[in-house]
Structures are given as C-alpha cells and as structure tokens.
Structure 1
C-alpha cells in the first residue's frame, strides 16, 4: 500500500492532481490562465452576490444604482416560492408534506430497508400527502389549482417514479417476451414515448385526454399531468430495467427451470433481484432527470417550483427581480440533484464492495 492509503502502484490523489495541472509547461500555462480568468470573473460576481447585495429594506433600496443582488426580495417571497398560492394560514400542510417526502426518500435510500415492506410505506406516504394538501384530513379544502412550489415538484417526481416503476417492469418483461404480439406492443409503446418530447406528452394530457374520456367526467389538471409524466418516464425506466435483465446470465434462468420454478417465480426470486441491483445507479440518475424535467410543468400552467419563482418576480411591488428568483430555485434544484448524484456514486461503490465480499 502507498503512504496515501491507495492501491499498490497507484499514485496518490494529490500527485495525480499535480501532474494534471502542472505536469508540463503547457499544463502549467493553461492552469495559470484558467485561474486568472476565474479570479477576473469572481470579483464582480462576489460583489454582486454578497458585498453590494441588499439584505434588508424594501424594493426602493434594491433599485439603487450601486445595489447588488436583492436578497430581501427572496426573504419576502420565500413562502410564495416554496408553496405558491397555497393559503398562508394552512401552509403548515405543504411543509409537513416536505418532511414526509424527506423521510420517504431517506428510508428508501438505505439498503437495509430494501424489502417489499417499502411498497405500502410509499403508498401510505403518497396518499397521506395528497390528503394533507387537499384538506381531506384537516379542513378547509384546498383546490389543486392553489397547490404549487416545492411540494408539487417533489410530489410529481416521487409519484411519477413510484407509478412508473410497475409499468416499466411489465414493459421490460414484455419486450423480452417470446410472445410476438406482446413484444410488438411493448416495443411500440416504448419507442413512441421515447421519440416525442415531454412537452408534447403534457399537451396531450391537457388537451386530448379530456376529449377522450366520457362526457361529464372531469379529470383534475394535476392528475392529467401526473399521468403524462408517469407514462413518459415509464418508457425510459423500462429500457433501464431491460438493460439489467440482459446482464443476468442465461444460466440463471436455466438453473431455475431445472429446479422446477416457473417463469414468474424465476423472475421474482432470481432474475429481477439481480437485474434491479445492477441498474440501481441508473435508476437514481433517471430519478434526478424526472425531478429536473418537472420544470416543464410551467408550460401548462402548473405552479411548480420554477413557475412560482417566475411569478414571484411579477409582483408589482417587487417587479423585475428574476435573477435573484431563478438563482434561489437553481440552488434548490442543484442541492437535490447534486445530493442524488453523490448518493448514486456512494451506492455504486457500496454495491461493488458487496459483490467483492
């Protein structure tokens, strides 16, 4: 082992950084020029973000020529950005829903909790979140038209993943089926959904679905958007699961058949556990993609986190502070996405270590 605790024959981390940055004259020149450009851009950014920023007062103070970022706008509009038009007197409900989502995601991220018991936990958490937001458990009732902000972004993402998973599982198995008609239908569904943009799916859910249901039946706008998001990502998730199924050696299925296990028992007990374990990092990455793509809900008038940030800057009393508003929600998106990517890398290392043992 090396002094830095690395593998034998492998240079320490700091040595590889040194070689990459200053290992030659060309690398040294590029490093110095990059640092100089970074410092040149950093000073005005720091001035605007922190040194000249307005941390208190009103909009008139932010309008001064020497003023930087107006963070007092974010402080004033924080609740609207997070919860949208949800009535302020009961905004503890969406706040509690965020806590429930955090507990759900934390428990689901821990490998020791991975079992069939997570399924009713997901169902109960999503149902409880919906009842809390709607006011079924604690009146007054709140229409989904007033829902918005971070609970919508996380709720649509989590529910989309939860409902897309069983659909994707069926599609992945159907695409590998020996039954020609079943395979053709699965391939057609997957390729069509993967071949059109998500915005088109959302517009179809908004405009076409109401005309397709029987007369007098009204589907909530948020529910229609949720169905569109679920179907769209089920096609992508199906391909991820199919990649995992192809990793499992054919000998596993043959051994299961030799033991007398049928198709469904072999898949449930032998094939799927190995396949899903192999593609968990890819599923995590796709989950981050679902979260980021929920920003497209703004184009159909749903007040997700991005749309509430945009609307907050249209208040006549605080008109025009779009930069601060977008920066604040970008930091929220980045924190969730970066945390998810770090978790994916940690999980990949953990699964690799468990296979070695």
Structure 2
C-alpha cells in the first residue's frame, strides 16, 4: 500500500538573508545605495559631528546646573570673577526661575488652581484624542464650551470664595497655553463655518465670509493684536471695559480661523461631486450632508495643513509680548534682565529653554497628526480581527 502524506499546517516563512535585513541593510539601502548617496551621507555625518560635539559640550558637559546667582555661571580667575564666553549653558538660571516661567506672577497660594485646570483639560481632552473612545461629539462640545467656562471661574476667580487674580499677574507658560488652547477650540469650528460660508450659494453669506477671510489674511498678526489691544476700546462705550488678555485671545483666534477656513475650503473642493450626489440620493439635507459625509472626508484630507496652521499659531502666541503681556518669551526676557543673573550665557540659555519648550509641544502635535493620518490611511479589513 502506498502511504500518502498531507501537510496539515502552513510552514512558517523563513527570515530573509542576513544581507537583506538589519541595520546594515537599512544603511546600504537608504544611505549608501549609490556613489552619490555615499558622498552626501559621509558629508552630512561629518557636518553633524562637527556641530553636535560643541553643542553637546555647551548644553551638557560644561553647563552649570545649580547655583543661586550669577557667580555660579562665571569663571574664577586670579584677577577675580570674570565671564567666560566659552563656558557652558547656565541652567542654574532656568532652575532658579523655573516656576516663574510656568506661572508668571500668579500668587503662590493660588497656583493649585492652575494645576487643577491643567488636570481638567487633560482629562476632558484625552478621550477626544483617542480614536477608539466613543461620544466624540459630546466630548468636543464639553471641550469647546464647558472647559473655557471652568477655566474662567478657576483662573480669574472672584466666585465661589476664590481670590480674584488679575490677568496682569498671569505669565509664562500659563499665558502661552491658555491662548493656544482657546484659539484652537475657537478657530477650528469658526474656520469650518467660514469655509462653508465662502462656498455657500447665498450671496450675503458668501460675501461676508469672503470679506472677513481676505481682510484678516491681509493683516499681520502684530497689527491684529495692536487693534485688539489699543483701538478696540476706543469703539466701546466708556462704561464697558474689556480685559486685555481676552482681547488678545480673541484676536489670535479670529486671525487663525481665517487660515483654517482656507485650509478646510481646499479639502471641500477636493471632495468628488459624486459624494454630494450620493448624499442627495439618500435624502440627506444640507447639514447632514456636510456633517456626516463631506466634512469628515475633507478633514481627513487636510490634516497636515490644519496642523501646520495650528503649529504656526502656537509659535506666534509669543507676539503678545509686544502688547505688554508676559507669555513664556516675555517672562524669560524679563528674568534675563535680573542683575543677579547678568552673565553672557544667561540670554542664550533662556532662549534655548524657550526653543526646547516650543519644540516639545509642536513636535507632539506633529506626531499626533501623523498618527491620525496613518490610522485614516490604514487598509480596511473585512471581518473581525483575531
């Protein structure tokens, strides 16, 4: 009798050859694939080493990490204490003024309110940023309307036995993040409405949206802040006062919404006409068509553009310094002028600290945008997984 052998399970795939995997394969494929790539890669590696070594030396190795005044960041010579232009960064200056950089002149006994507000913002918005969490619309409405209201009562005070804290005492990262957060929550929905208004077939709505967008885009943010800070009170009745911080916040939000509107409008124009016709065939009205069919697709197409505008807005919040508001840039520049920290290394160290803080937040927004893009562009599979 002839015995027959039938394979009952798949044979696992063998790993690729050593030359086709690992770090050496990546280097050969990406950096040294052609003679020109080899030359360019070697030049760039040498350039990185040339600049990275002194940079690390200044930032870390020769840096001063502790001290109570400028003496910690100067060099002691036989002739006395003299500044050393080749010494490292004066991180002792940042350490001594760190909490001022975060809270500004917000009263020490009331800083728990800022911490509580930051915790509320994280708790409310974290589910909104996780794609798998449900109730996105309800969460977005809470973030848009409830969180700013809580922030008003907590940060401004004057209610529920909380000590009032004037915005003149706010400063540092508190001002930067507050303006950025409120501007984002206002500019995204307002910019979307302006984009829909500019594409509207109603002449009045189309004209108003067009004039607003083109006017705001044609004015620099510095001029918008000056108008909001100096000229706006001239048009208000004498008995009506408007806080300078709120005026600057509204100015930044309106300025950003004009750019968001053009980005969203580009996404709307990229949607095929068939999507509109399909929604009409299903009997969907204008609002359901836009909310359920068109806008979700438009947003997925313009995520890089929206994030680019928001990152630019986050960095431009430092312009509020020119109207007398001490954001992170303003509070650091104010601290640099302190006599006890007057050294050649202090200004550069302060600017590097600002750059690192802004880079962390901007890089985080960029990485999250890439995560959403990869999730939206991932191939859809039929059936349940595993």
- Tell me the TM-score normalized by structure 1: 0.89
Partner of 1:36: 46
Rg: which structure is higher?
2
Partner of 2:183: 160
> Is the 2:128–2:140 contact (alpha carbons within 8 Å) kept by the matching residues of 1?
no
Moved more, 291-300 or 118-127: 118-127
Distance 2:255 2:24 in 1: 44
Partner SS state of residue 75, structure 1: helix
Structure 1, unpaired ranges of 5+: 5-9
Partner of 2:365: 340
- What is the CA RMSD across the aligned residues, in angstroms? 2.5
> Is the 1:295–1:304 contact (alpha carbons within 8 Å) kept by the matching residues of 2?
yes
Matches within 5 A, 1:62-81: 62-64=73-75, 65=84, 67-81=87-101
Partner SS state of residue 137, structure 2: coil
Match of residue 128, structure 1, among 150, 162, 178: 150
> Is the 2:276–2:294 contact (alpha carbons within 8 Å) kept by the matching residues of 1?
yes
Relative to structure 1, is the Cα distance of residues 46 and 12 closer, same or farther in structure 2, using a 3 angstrom cutoff? closer
Structure 2, unpaired ranges of 5+: 1-12, 76-83
> Is the 1:132–1:138 contact (alpha carbons within 8 Å) kept by the matching residues of 2?
no
> Is the 1:86–1:142 contact (alpha carbons within 8 Å) kept by the matching residues of 2?
yes
1:108 matched to 2:128 = yes
> Is the 1:61–1:67 contact (alpha carbons within 8 Å) kept by the matching residues of 2?
no
Post-superposition offset of 1:159 = 0.8
Distance 2:179 2:146 in 1: 16
Partner SS state of residue 112, structure 1: coil
Relative to structure 1, is the Cα distance of residues 265 and 33 closer, same or farther in structure 2, using a 3 angstrom cutoff? closer
> Is the 1:98–1:151 contact (alpha carbons within 8 Å) kept by the matching residues of 2?
no
Post-superposition offset of 1:164 = 1.7
Partner of 2:310: 287
- Report the number of matched residues: 352
Match of residue 218, structure 1, among 230, 241, 256: 241
Distance 1:130 1:351 in 2: 36
Moved more, 83-92 or 24-33: 24-33
Structure in which a larger fraction of residues adopt helix: 1
Moved more, 22-31 or 182-191: 22-31
Post-superposition offset of 1:195 = 1.7
Distance 2:32 2:148 in 1: 53
Distance 1:223 1:356 in 2: 48
Post-superposition offset of 1:160 = 0.8
Distance 1:196 1:13 in 2: 50
1:56 matched to 2:83 = no
Match of residue 162, structure 2, among 129, 136, 139: 139
Matches within 5 A, 1:1-357: 15=25, 17-58=27-68, 59-64=70-75, 65=84, 67-113=87-133, 115-122=136-143, 123-135=145-157, 136-137=159-160, 139-320=162-343, 321-353=346-378
Partner of 1:7: none
Partner SS state of residue 176, structure 2: helix
Post-superposition offset of 1:138 = 5.2
Post-superposition offset of 1:313 = 1.1
Relative to structure 1, is the Cα distance of residues 308 and 36 closer, same or farther in structure 2, using a 3 angstrom cutoff? same
Distance 1:138 1:282 in 2: 44
Post-superposition offset of 1:133 = 1.3
Distance 2:42 2:270 in 1: 46
Distance 1:63 1:101 in 2: 42
Relative to structure 1, is the Cα distance of residues 247 and 13 closer, same or farther in structure 2, using a 3 angstrom cutoff? farther
Distance 2:381 2:201 in 1: 34
